Chain A
Amino acid sequence: MSEVIVITSGKGGVGKTTTTANVGTGLAKLDKKVVLIDTDIGLRNLDVVMGLENRIVYNLVDVVEGNCRIKQALIKDKRYSNLYLLPSAQTRDKTAVSPEQMIKLIEELREEFDYILLDCPAGIEQGFKNAIAAADRALIVTTPEVSAIRDADRIIGLLEANDIRKIDLIVNRLRMDMVKRGDMMSIEDVVDILAIHLIGAVPDDENIVISTNQGEPLVGDSSMAGIAYMNICKRVLGEEVPFLDLNIKEGFLSKLGKLFK
């Protein structure tokens, strides 16, 4: 049984592509056969985040237009043999693909893969409609900011209107120091406002920037974000994993310093 998951947010820059790369890589690490599809036609990014940008020959639009077979466009990941990427086209725009074409493409991929992850573009126009057309479930990525949460709420409404009932929330870029100070909404605040199921929270971790620089998703390593993403993957598979304590342990010196403030 394969599952098609769309990763979406409404607002841009909240971490959809990073989340797609990490959840996809994590599921592959957990021995699932996974394909990641970049549906952001004209602004492709998933290939660089995955470190596969030099291996692109054909893309999503080529497959849909029949210029090549699906197998020719799929790029095998350099570390995991059961992980593939279907890159987006850079020289075309969102209207090059229709929702019906996406449904047909994904039906074919379902026979081959356990998980099909769709990296959705920002916005609610054609690109969004293409990305959600064949999805069984959705991961909503948001940050604890008013603009991102407002857009997430709108997206949740649109997904429900399109009969996607299984919707989970990822709260990204949390800064526990700011939450403690009362200057950032907490995970509980965000869940309370959006009223959907929380599948994980990812701290604002500089290791994410480093891993993106290198083109190697950090899921499963010992960093806070790496652990958080791996937990999300396990929960996607239906495992019950306790939520990570995002409070970074304070060192003795910083505690001492605070005493004298």
Chain B
Amino acid sequence: MALMDFFKKKSSSEVAKDRLKLLLISDRTTCSTEVMELIKNDIIKVISKYMEIDSDGLDIQITQTDAEDGMGRVPALCANIPIRDMKKNVRN
């Protein structure tokens, strides 16, 4: 039985380490609503230089997504910004 366990199970310390690594990524990236609001305003400011956007329909959040290397889930900043038009001064 002990031998069987050896082949199929991770040790409990490895389980703990893996759980913690994932947990801390999400703990560390949890932004307060104030910080999210600041990020949102800055993004609007930058994009508004070039485009006319619908700032009421704008949605920005930090979500979890699958990592590209397949190593579990990682946090990602997702922004959904409806564009109305390009600003005249940047049109070609």
Contact = CB atoms under 8 A, between A and B. Distances in A.
Interface string B14-46: 101101110110011000000000000000000
Contact of B13 (A150, A154, A189): A189
A223 interface: no
A192 B17 CA distance: 10
Contacts of B20: 146, 149-150, 193
A183 B12 contact: yes
A242 interface: no
B92 interface: no
B28 A157 contact: yes
A179 interface: yes
Nearest to A195: B24
Dominant SS among interface residues on chain B: helix
A192 B13 CA distance: 13
A150 B25 CA distance: 11
Dominant SS among interface residues on chain A: helix
Interface in A141-159: 144-146, 149-150, 153-154, 157
A150 B17 contact: no
Q: Which residue, B19, B20, B27, has most C-beta atoms of chain A within 10 A?
A: B20
Given A149-B20, A193-B17, A193-B20, A182 B12 contact: yes
7 contacts: A145-B16, A146-B16, A154-B27, A181-B11, A183-B13, A185-B16, A193-B21
Given A146-B16, A150-B23, 19 more contacts: A146-B19, A150-B27, A153-B27, A154-B27, A157-B28, A179-B13, A182-B11, A182-B12, A182-B13, A182-B14, A183-B12, A184-B13, A185-B13, A185-B16, A189-B17, A192-B17, A193-B17, A193-B20, A193-B24
In the complex, the 3 A-B pairs of residues with the closest C-beta atoms, listed nearest first: A182-B11, A185-B13, A183-B12
Interface of B: 11-14, 16-17, 19-21, 23-24, 27-28
Interface of A: 144-146, 149-150, 153-154, 157, 179, 181-186, 189, 192-193
